[in-house]
Amino acid sequence: MAEFNTPLILGDLHLKNRVIMAPLTRSRATDDRVPTAMMAEYYAQRASSGLIISEATVISEEANGYRNTPGLFTDAQVEGWKVVTQAVHEQQGLIVAQLWHVGRVSDPELLGGQTPVSASAVQQAGHVSLLRPKRGYVVPRPLEITEIKSIVEQFKQAAIRAKEAGFDGVELHAANGYLIDQFLQTKTNLRDDEYGGTVENRARLLLEVIDVLIEVWGAGRVGVHLAPRGDEHDMGDDAPRETFGYALEQLGQRNIAFFFTREYLADDSISNYMKERSNGVPYIANMRLSREDAMQLLASGQADAVSFGKAYIANPDLYERLMVNAPLNELVLENMIGTDVAEGYIDYPSMQNKCAADRSQN
């Protein structure tokens, strides 16, 4: 029966425990998308997790939808990430890079005046995150076939740079309504070419990118991030069991290291169905998990590992706290995204530091 502290093998990754740090956009990189020393400290603080999945990292400047998110397409970015991965490894941690193209979830202001791209010209509801003055999303431009091939190559080059930067593997961000998801789900993919229509065609970009990541890293160091509910960025699919079941069947044939789903637990959850279709690919559960939820998922074998996001922002030693059922620090929303200050980023106390501070006051 698996518990938080049970070791786990994900492909070629040997994890010391089954508590995973989810990818968390914090927008703390430089204007040129170079990781900073403060980011290295942030990740090193959380290296007791079994695996860190980095914040989403753009594969090109054209792939971005937010200011100050890190990249993996320049030499300076590689050098910045080297400091981060070294800091994590010095704490005996593992870290994989999450590779990202936002597609339509952007704005011309962030793209040098260019129109965001997507599978099809389907406008997203809502307003662009963090930009002021407030504005709605624009109608995206459908990608041409040659452009799709170019983006696949950008993913490959980012994977090569991730290896140069010292990461332990890569995870493809195919969730939350970003570009890969926009091709996968029927609401955003209205194409009638080889990338649209049937589930086989809609999954083509996902699988082409996975294949080039495997070329670089080997299947045992490649994971994928999926969101079968389609509950972010105005997504939706006519038949999610068919779509995501097929995707996992194909990923299982490639024997990738893991798949991660952002899907809260409910009667209509399909993550376990996806696991059944995956030919044994290890499954990382995520989204709104309580400690009790996580323990039950591991004990029952429904999930191979459990992942936490916001709890890891406020608790650098979350793994240790889960082990002893210790109280958690309260999440402070101020400074959570996009500042250059330490407060709300690297100043959350660990249990050990808090106890030492309490003793000094007595």
DSSP state of 61: G
Q: Taking the C-alpha atoms of 10, 13, 14 and 18 in order, what is their torsion angle to the nearest 10 degrees?
A: -50
300 in helix, strand or coil? Answer: helix
Q: 201-209: list long-range contacts, CB under 8 Å, 24+ apart.
A: 202/243, 203/243, 203/246, 203/247, 203/250, 205/148, 205/152, 205/179, 205/180, 206/172, 206/174, 206/180, 206/247, 207/247, 207/250, 207/251, 207/254, 208/152, 209/152, 209/155, 209/172, 209/180
From the CB of residue 148, how many other CB atoms can be counted at a distance below 10 Å? 22
DSSP-assigned beta bridge partners for residue 330: none
261: its two tokens: 């789903």
Q: Alpha-carbon distance 28 to 40, whole Å?
A: 11
Please give the angle made by the CA atoms of 114, 116 and 121, to the nearest 5 degrees: 125
Gap between the Cα atoms of 90 and 86, Å rounded? 6
Q: How far apart are CA 45 and CA 43, in angstroms?
A: 5
Answer yes or no: 178 catalytic: yes
Amino acid at 198: T
Joined tokens for residue 180: 């890969």
Nearest CA among 219, 251, 229, 297 for reference residue 19: 297
Radius of gyration for the alpha carbons in the chain, expressed in angstroms and rounded: 20
Look up residue 248 and give its two tokens. 């996992």
Torsion sign (Cα): 203, 55, 149, 179: positive
Candidates 43, 66, 137, 178; catalytic one:
178
- Per the listing, tokens 């900073």 go with 36
Which residues participate in catalysis according to the annotation?
Answer: 178
